[in-house]
């Protein structure tokens, strides 16, 4: 195997390990509640093209302003709409695709935080990886990648050493 191929293989494997470790670290920090962010999945089209159904929203807790898209709780569910106004501690929200503001007025304390990012279609992947089958398929994928990097190439095949061969004497 050429020197370049060895370096490329080691670099690729190192990158894979770094990505896996970064994902594990981020997951642990997120689950432990250390990070000031929460991630939610948008299930409806009430935000229209701004945040389509199937998107994930990354919400910074306790930081928001009027005009920003926020996530809040209502009847135990998390809803993501635009914050229209705050009057006497009561909030008015509206989905961008809705014609009128939401009919309920909620206390400001129901706001989780402001949306800082909304990657499209990431919600589908997050929902998939919440299932045991999704986690198992991700682990299997990583193992298969590792096997591909560690499997010997054609230049690495083991061939018998000619000095070790014996000839039969008659």
Q: What pLDDT digit, counting tens, does each position of 63-118 carry?
A: 999 999 999 999 999 999 999 999 999 999 999 999 999 999 999 999 999 999 99
- List C-alpha distances in Å: 41 to 101, 117, 121, 153: 22, 12, 9, 43
Residue 3 pLDDT class (50, 70, 90 cuts):
low
Q: Is residue 155 part of a domain?
A: no
CB-count burial class (<10 Å; 0-12, 13-18, 19+) for 59:
buried
Q: Which domain holds residue 96?
A: 36-128
**How much of the chain is in helix, strand and coil states, percent to nearest 5?**
40, 25, 35
Q: Is residue 17 part of a domain?
A: no
6-15, 20-29, 44-53 — most confident range: 44-53
User: Do residues 45 and 53 lie in contact, with contact meaning Cβ atoms separated by under 8 Å?
Assistant: yes
- Predicted pLDDT at 15: 77
By three-state DSSP, how is residue 167 classified? coil
Q: Is residue 157 part of a domain?
A: no
Q: Is residue 54 part of a domain?
A: yes
For the entire predicted model, the pTM comes to 0.68
Distance between CA 26 and CA 47 in Å, rounded?
A: 28
Beta bridge partners of 91: 86, 106
Please state, as a whole number, how many other Cβ atoms lie within 10 Å of the Cβ of residue 116.
14
Distance between CA 89 and CA 91 in Å, rounded?
A: 7
Domain count, the chain: 1
Domain harbouring 84, CATH code: 2.10.109.10
Q: What is the mean pLDDT of residues 140-164?
A: 69
Q: Is residue 105 part of a domain?
A: yes
Tokens representing residue 65 in the block: 């302003």
Residue 19 has pLDDT above 60, yes or no: yes
């Amino acid at each position: 195997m050429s020197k370049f191929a060895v370096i490329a293989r080691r670099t690729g494997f190192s990158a894979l390990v770094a990505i896996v470790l970064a994902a594990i670290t981020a997951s642990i920090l997120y689950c432990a509640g250390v990070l000031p962010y929460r991630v939610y999945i948008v299930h409806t089209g009430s935000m229209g093209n701004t945040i389509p159904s199937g998107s994930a929203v990354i919400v910074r807790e306790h930081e928001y302003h009027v005009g920003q898209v926020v996530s809040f709780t209502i009847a135990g569910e998390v809803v993501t709409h635009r914050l229209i106004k705050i009057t006497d501690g009561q909030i008015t929200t509206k989905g961008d695709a809705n014609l009128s503001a939401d009919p309920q007025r909620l206390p400001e304390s129901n706001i989780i935080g402001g949306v800082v990012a909304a990657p499209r279609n990431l919600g589908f992947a997050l929902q998939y990886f919440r299932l045991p089958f999704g986690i198992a398929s991700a682990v299997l994928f990583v193992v298969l990648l590792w096997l591909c990097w560690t499997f010997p190439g054609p230049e690495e095949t083991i061939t018998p050493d000619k000095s070790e061969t014996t000839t039969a004497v008659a």
